[in-house]
A = this chain, B = another copy of it.
Amino acid sequence: MKTNVIYRRAYNHSLDHLAGQAPGVALPSEPALAALLGVSRTTVRAVLAALEAGGIIGPEGRQRRLIRPPRRSDYLDAAGLEPLPEMLERKFMAWMVGPDCRPGAVINGLDLARQFGVSTSAIRECLNKFSHFGLLERQSNGRWRALGLTIDFVEELFDMREVMEFRAVDRFVALPADHAAWAALAAIREEHEALLSDFARRYRDFSELDHRFHRLVNGVAPNRFLGNIHGVMSVIFHYHYQWNKKDETERNHVALHEHLDYIDGLASRDIDKARAASRLHLETARSTLLTSIEVAG
């Protein structure tokens, strides 16, 4: 049956909201809570019932009032707070880049289901998803073959990325001077400077900034198909570098400086300069990833 992750998260989330409140304060109405927690009223009612059963809130006429502030122990266990598809994606990716999976091998869905403690249906859905990432392939006999994070894969991925990014660069420099993207670009440049000035402590924040920067650039030429590829890339990068922290500081430092050049190239509105900076950045990223794979493989 369906997991109740949504309920559990909403429950913990509601405790967070109650934490700062003084006892006796009235809770918002059910629809208001539903909007606040981002769930349906059905779920809100389940949460309220549990809070009442736990003695955290109590009814008072039509309203509910806080009886005591939530304690640490009121929170539901962190285990089982992750949606099943996400949990599976994580486990599967870890398996995929791990030693148990070698490129070209047939994937045994039943075995994976046992290993991960989920049903074969869940595995099936997961495999379907990853096949769109090009990491898997379906054979004629209905089985899946692992392709894996190979050199070829990375080459093709970065070829696509270049296509995407150059296309976006061309459109970016052609934007009218009053376009909101220019302000956003200046703002993100500031963030780069700020990160650089405190790099030793904050170098791990780069990944998120990187994501936002490329999203800004690519956002001026929106295309759902390219967007898909961008999503694939995010997933690949995320999982690969999660397992491969080697040289992370150095890597991020170089990329940060390249971003600044790239931003300046865009800001100059000189298409050749912008393209050159973009190309340089992508080339570095490509060879960094390739090196990292070769070392690991």
Cβ contacts under 8 Å, A156 to chain B: 222-225
Instruction: Give the residue name and chain of the B residue nearest to A39 (CB).
Output: B141
Is A279 located at the chain interface by the 8 A CB criterion?
Answer: no
B223 with A160: CB separation less than 8 A: yes
A153–B132 alpha-carbon span in the complex (Å) = 19
Cβ contacts under 8 Å, A232 to chain B: 225
Q: Mark A157-172, 1 if CB is under 8 A from B, else 0.
A: 1011001000100000
Cβ contacts under 8 Å, A125 to chain B: 125, 128
A250–B63 alpha-carbon span in the complex (Å) = 71
Interface size on A, residues (CB 8 A): 25
Cβ contacts under 8 Å, A40 to chain B: 141
Q: How many copies does the complex hold?
A: 2
Is A229 located at the chain interface by the 8 A CB criterion?
Answer: yes
Is A4 located at the chain interface by the 8 A CB criterion?
Answer: no
Q: How far is the CB of A152 from chain B (nearest CB, A)?
A: 9
A163 with B167: CB separation less than 8 A: yes
A44–B129 alpha-carbon span in the complex (Å) = 32
A266–B94 alpha-carbon span in the complex (Å) = 45
A155–B150 alpha-carbon span in the complex (Å) = 33
A140 with B38: CB separation less than 8 A: yes
Q: Mark A209-241, 1 if CB is under 8 A from B, else 0.
A: 000000000000011111011001000000000
Cβ contacts under 8 Å, A222 to chain B: 156
Is A121 located at the chain interface by the 8 A CB criterion?
Answer: yes
Interface residues of A in 192-224 (CB under 8 A from B): 222-224
Is A134 located at the chain interface by the 8 A CB criterion?
Answer: yes
Instruction: Give the residue name and chain of the B residue nearest to A225 (CB).
Output: B160
B38 with A157: CB separation less than 8 A: no
B160 with A226: CB separation less than 8 A: yes
A224–B149 alpha-carbon span in the complex (Å) = 13
Q: How far is the CB of A235 from chain B (nearest CB, A)?
A: 13
Cβ contacts under 8 Å, A134 to chain B: 224-225, 228
Instruction: Give the residue name and chain of the B residue nearest to A157 (CB).
Output: B225
Interface residues of A in 133-183 (CB under 8 A from B): 134, 140-141, 153, 156-157, 159-160, 163, 167
Instruction: Give the residue name and chain of the B residue nearest to A121 (CB).
Output: B121
Q: Mark A90-130, 1 if CB is under 8 A from B, else 0.
A: 00000000000000000000000000000001000100110
A100–B132 alpha-carbon span in the complex (Å) = 29
Would you mind naming 13 contact pairs between A and B with Cβ atoms under 8 Å apart?
Answer: A38-B140, A125-B128, A128-B129, A134-B224, A134-B225, A156-B223, A156-B224, A159-B223, A160-B223, A160-B225, A160-B226, A163-B167, A225-B229
